[in-house]
Amino acid sequence: MTILRAFIVRNDGTTIYGKCYEKDRTVVAPAIPAHIRACLVLLSSSRSMQRGVPYVLEQDDTLWVYCFFESFAVAVEATKDGPIEWLKRTVYSVGKDIVRNFSGVISAWPGDISDVEGISDVIDSYARFGMRPLDKNTTHKIELLIDDVLSRYEIAYAGVFGPLGEMIVGNVPHRHTETISEEIQRGAIRPSVDLVPVSVDINGYRVRLLQVESLTAVAAPYRQGSEIKAVQAVGELAAGIERLLDAE
């Protein structure tokens, strides 16, 4: 699945950000399609609209997913060759990142916010990754990161999972991968700006999870082991993954 266009639209229908993702470059997007803008304005004023819940509009060749927040909506167009659930989670995550870091800017900024430092980075980090598989070189480097944290921290296991909840690399036991996959698929793992991991109890293990773009880093201490070690390990693993993806 490939993200084609992304927009941020205020509740009054004013487009304050738009970008088009072409094969090897990104450009400023033309105006948001009139029927999408109309849907956003209509839904934003509807009592039945739920904030933080992605909505889907399927078209002939592409689909749109949009998600509403306090003062704006994120609308994304993508190809249809992938799971809608992944795109819904991505749009939600983009919106939450913007709320966390730029909510004050969106409320006060008089026009287009493309020039606000950092906001394009948030959206681009999701759009450029899409649903494409990691290349062998990047996968190997992530495997080396996992080997490194396993050798330096007393933890039961570490791994990295893909956007659909599949383990890409790691030594996570099968009886744990199923639960972790379910957590990822239902959108329980959110990006964390300050690298504070989510905690999930699995068969007596306190598993720590951190999302980096569309990937999820995982580490677990031994049952009687130090949870701090797992927190440090997953944080270091997530930071290493972020550096790798930024270098692509």
Whether 146 and 113 map to the same domain: the answer is no
Question: Which of 127, 161, 178 is the C-terminal boundary of a domain?
Answer: 127
| Cβ proximity of 28 and 113 under 8 Å | no
Average pLDDT over residues 195-221: 86
Split at pLDDT 50, 70, 90, the class of 193 is very low
The residues, any chain, with a CB within 8 Å of residue 178's CB and separated by 6 or more, are: none
Out of 3-17, 23-37, 38-52, 169-183, least confident range? 23-37
Residue 67 β-bridge partners: 74
Structural domains counted in the chain: 2
Whichever domain contains 22, its CATH number is 3.30.450.50
Per the structure, the complete domain to which residue 193 belongs is given by 136-247
Q: Which pLDDT does position 244 carry in this prediction?
A: 83
Give the tokens for residue 199.
């905690």
108 and 35, same domain (yes or no): yes
Q: Are residues 99 and 196 in the same domain?
A: no
Q: In what side-by-side order are the strands of the sheet with 215-220?
A: 167-170, 157-161, 215-220, 205-212, 198-202
In this structure, the answer to whether residues 114 and 162 fall within a common structural domain is no
- What's the helix, strand, coil split of the chain in %, to 5? 40, 25, 35
State whether 154 and 123 are in the same domain: no
* 30 or 88, which is more confident: 88
The model scores a pTM over 0.85:
no
User: Which CATH number goes with the domain that contains 213?
Assistant: 3.30.450.30
**Residue 221 clears pLDDT 90, i.e. is over it:** yes
Of 65, 93, 127, at which residue does a domain stop? 127
pLDDT value of residue 79: 85
**DSSP at 55:** E
Tell me: do 25 and 121 sit in the same domain.
yes
Q: What integer is the mean pLDDT of 234-247?
A: 85
